[in-house]
Structure 1
Amino acid sequence: MSSPQTTRPPEATAAPPRLLGVLFLGTLLAALDIAVVGPALPALREAFALSERSVAWTFTAFVLANLAGLPITSALADRVGRRRVYLACVAVFAAGTLLVALAPSFGVLLAGRVVQGLGASGIFPVATAVIGDAFPPERRGRAVGLLGSVFGVAFLIGPALAGIVLAFASWRWVFALSLPLAAVVYTLAARRLPESRAETARPFDAAGTIALVALLVSLVVGLSGLDASGLSASVARPAVWGPLGLAVVLVLALGVIERRAAAPLLRPGLVARRPVQIACVLAVGAGVVEATFVLLSAYSVVAFGVEKSAASYLLLPLVGGVALGAPLAGRTLDRVGVRPVVLTATALIVLGMAAIAAAPTLGLHIAATVVLGLGLSGVLGSSLSYIFLAEAGRDERAVAQGLSTIFLSVGQLTGAALLAALAASATDSEAGYRLGFGVVAVGAAALVVAALFLPRTSTGRVQR
């Protein structure tokens, strides 16, 4: 495998900690936007007179755009340079943020969310690829673990920040406060980010990208139509089975397209490796679990009578577990390998989700969210990135990380659509939430089984 052409600014070469700090802030920029959406949804619903199903598109539009942009930004990063693409993504994200903050209608707000998603699509994958270029193999796990902890930090400060802003100002300021951070990230990245690219440019898989996005839109629309009070009857409705049937057809079409593509979105060389296949399954599962974050605040209001103004703060114990566990998982990966870390993490996810579904009191619910956060931290970010970096060649690092995020987004979209449909359509809202969380817990048990087939240690392919 040929090595990429690399040019590094003196600042990045001389001070890797500074480089990691820039990547940390950039990932925080994108993660904060996800963290503040949940607390802002009630205000958006009131401001634009929306139903619960409609306002959920605030989250869905961002994730779909993020997913659509991933193959584009990943391919461009390997082709024209990671530094250039990273800077462009930060600028696009800032433009989308401004559009959301100034949106006069919900349609314009969704357009802004799409622009934000496109910008965010290149921030974390390119950051991880830069780590693969700039850090030696024995330090990558710790560096990636630090980036993984950013999501915990974002969800730690995001709900609290959103709650404070919403208490004194409009929902628009919840989004506008990201603009100064975007300016800081752009300025620092322009000075310190090293430039690197794959030596061999690959064509862009436009047909595969279109098929994948169409597949996921069909899946989300179909799942959103499910009715918890009559699942079998709802599946029989054309508005449900039609999109779901189309999704099945598009899965088959995507397989044909990818086998014929010159540079397929789902790279056969990567996907054919067992560790990568397992990592894709883990990414989908982690995405589904992550989607529950959006609903936990609303669930605490319904199930435990928590005031709406305080509900967002109940996410803090969960994300504290994520922030605590992510760097620990990264350090442990370097010492014991992937399988023990992921096995422990997935078992904690099952325990946490099952406890959330059954917890009779608020105290037990909060304790269960901490367990869930610790478990998710061992899968989301560090372990997934570690596997993909170990299996990808130097020319495919950004594309490999993009593949990880694609499957994570699939899980987020599927989980959000399914959980929202069950909660919104059940005759008893609390029972609908508990049913959804229980389904997630059962699905998470499959992740434990998948983790058993991971190699105990890295294959070390990145060292070629």
Structure 2
Amino acid sequence: MTRNEERTRNRILLVLFVGVLMAALDIAIVGPALPALREHFGIDARAASWMFVVYVLCNLVGTPFIAKLSDRLGRRTLYTACVALFGLGSLIVVAAPTYALVLAGRAIQGLGARGIFPVASAVIGDTFPPEKRGSALGLIGAVFGIAFLIGPIIGGVLLLLGWQWLFLINLPIALALIGFGVKLLPAIRAATPRPFDWGGTVVLGVILASLAVALSDLAYLLDEASVSGLVNAISASSTWFLLVLALALIPLFLQIERRADDPVLDLNLFRNWQIALAGALSFGAGLSEAVTLFVPSLLVAAFGVTPSTASFMLVPMVLAMAVGSPLSGRMLDRIGSKIVVLTGTALIATGLLLEGMLATSLVAFYGFAALFGIGIGVLLGASLRYILLNEAPAAERGATQGVLTVFISIGQLIGAVVLGAVAAARGSDVGGYAAAFLVVGVVMLALFIASFGLKSRAEELATRQQWQSGASAA
């Protein structure tokens, strides 16, 4: 690799890093703006929460569609389009005269933001040599820990100028990213695009939207009521209908995908054990990440601290996440994914089981924070995306990265409901939260055992050579 090629790749990585950071920061900095938004538009707390719900919903629904388009239209087109959507959504939020338009802007932001990360991962697969992909993915994955740390600080500073500045700041960044993206990113696209799978895209979107809204409602109901009152609450809402709708549409979706010329989700990919296992691990990582929603409540119940103090006690965990991701990326390039994933799952399982059994020990909590934080950084940062880049054909890189993101999101949604139900069943006290942590710890222990089925370093190198030989023959 020449010095010019290395310099170009570093510039590409910078463009990807800033784009992902912009999208990640938008989640972290919105929190400080909610009181000002409530006052400005005269809305209650439940209505204000839709700032997050709409964003996450469009994140989830838009991911497979945008990721698939990146395989057909090219990474440059889709990455810059996603950044443009994010900037447009920010502008709509700033200029919105009503709260309904604010939510419309957040929806557009969410659609653009969720396309940025999987497309960025696919670009790394297209432009970086295999021996450098782990480090690049690890750096991109560290963005979320960084955003969690600096987001509230940036949000607090910008809020002094007015809540609109939390979104205005995105506009010059988006314009710069579009300019550099057009100049630097590869424009590779499918040579002979087949008919787009609109049927599968629409049905999958309805499934994901129904599931996301239903699970969000369940999590909210669990937070507001005991388990004994949950059945009555659900029966009086649309939650049951949305869950049934999502489940009923799954057979139709599978049938459509089997017949599609270019399915939005290629089911044949899951015949590959490595990809199927990566999907299961991504679901487990999302399930584990949902634990962080309940840690502050556990700290309040176990140590009698204030919610504000509990939030500050999470800083070591976030620092561990920010360290775990780039560190694991470097290790992926040296020793392969199997040992790295085994280490990540073992750390998460150990941390969760430790905290579940010793929930009233402050020393155990900080041990959990370090082990869990590094483990989550390892799984979500680079290792699972590294496996998919090694196993999926180049023409499916964007789609498979998008599927990984969807599995993580579903894990987060289901995790919020399951953990809330377990905690509520025990009275939402220390014992309830400890039991919830133990449940997820057991799941991660099972995934640790399953991870022994991943390919060794030598087997990964052999797979890589097969792809390279196939590409040369083509």
* Aligned equivalent of 2:19: 26
CA spacing shift, 1:343–1:43, aligned 2, 3 Å: farther
* Aligned equivalent of 2:342: 343
CA spacing shift, 1:96–1:165, aligned 2, 3 Å: same
- Shift of residue 66 of structure 1? 1.8
Code of the aligned partner of 2:18: L
8 Å contact kept, 1:26–1:123: yes
- Shift of residue 67 of structure 1? 2.5
2:431 matched to 1:441? Answer: no
CA spacing shift, 1:161–1:372, aligned 2, 3 Å: farther
Code of the aligned partner of 2:414: T
Counterparts in 2 of 1:49-198, with a 5 A limit?
49-51=43-45, 55-103=48-96, 105-165=98-158, 168=160, 171-198=163-190
8 Å contact kept, 2:227–2:424: no
- Shift of residue 417 of structure 1? 4.7
* Aligned equivalent of 2:412: 412
3-state SS of paired residue (2:379): coil
CA spacing shift, 1:60–1:369, aligned 2, 3 Å: farther
- Shift of residue 213 of structure 1? 2.8
In structure 2, what is the Cα distance between the partners aligned to 1:76 and 1:145? 24
Moved more, 452-461 or 125-134: 452-461
3-state SS of paired residue (2:188): strand
CA spacing shift, 1:320–1:35, aligned 2, 3 Å: same
C-alpha RMSD of the superposition:
3.2
CA spacing shift, 1:37–1:236, aligned 2, 3 Å: closer
- Shift of residue 388 of structure 1? 0.8
Moved more, 66-75 or 297-306: 297-306
Q: Normalising by structure 1, report the TM-score.
A: 0.85
> What residue ranges of structure 2 are gaps of 5+ in the alignment?
none
Moved more, 353-362 or 27-36: 353-362
Code of the aligned partner of 2:199: A
CA spacing shift, 1:30–1:298, aligned 2, 3 Å: farther
> What residue ranges of structure 1 are gaps of 5+ in the alignment?
1-9
Higher-Rg member (1/2): 2
Code of the aligned partner of 2:77: R
2:230 matched to 1:230? Answer: no
CA spacing shift, 1:221–1:157, aligned 2, 3 Å: same
In structure 2, what is the Cα distance between the partners aligned to 1:287 and 1:46? 34
8 Å contact kept, 1:351–1:371: yes
Code of the aligned partner of 1:334: D
Counterparts in 2 of 1:362-381, with a 5 A limit?
364-381=364-381
Match of 1:219 among 206, 211, 219: 211
In structure 2, what is the Cα distance between the partners aligned to 1:299 and 1:46? 31
In structure 1, what is the Cα distance between the partners aligned to 2:294 and 2:26? 16
In structure 1, what is the Cα distance between the partners aligned to 2:286 and 2:33? 21
In structure 1, what is the Cα distance between the partners aligned to 2:355 and 2:28? 20
CA spacing shift, 1:250–1:323, aligned 2, 3 Å: same
CA spacing shift, 1:452–1:192, aligned 2, 3 Å: same
3-state SS of paired residue (1:378): helix
2:269 matched to 1:270? Answer: yes
In structure 1, what is the Cα distance between the partners aligned to 2:429 and 2:93? 30
- Shift of residue 185 of structure 1? 2.3
CA spacing shift, 1:296–1:233, aligned 2, 3 Å: closer
8 Å contact kept, 2:61–2:208: no
Code of the aligned partner of 1:115: I
Q: Normalising by structure 2, report the TM-score.
A: 0.84
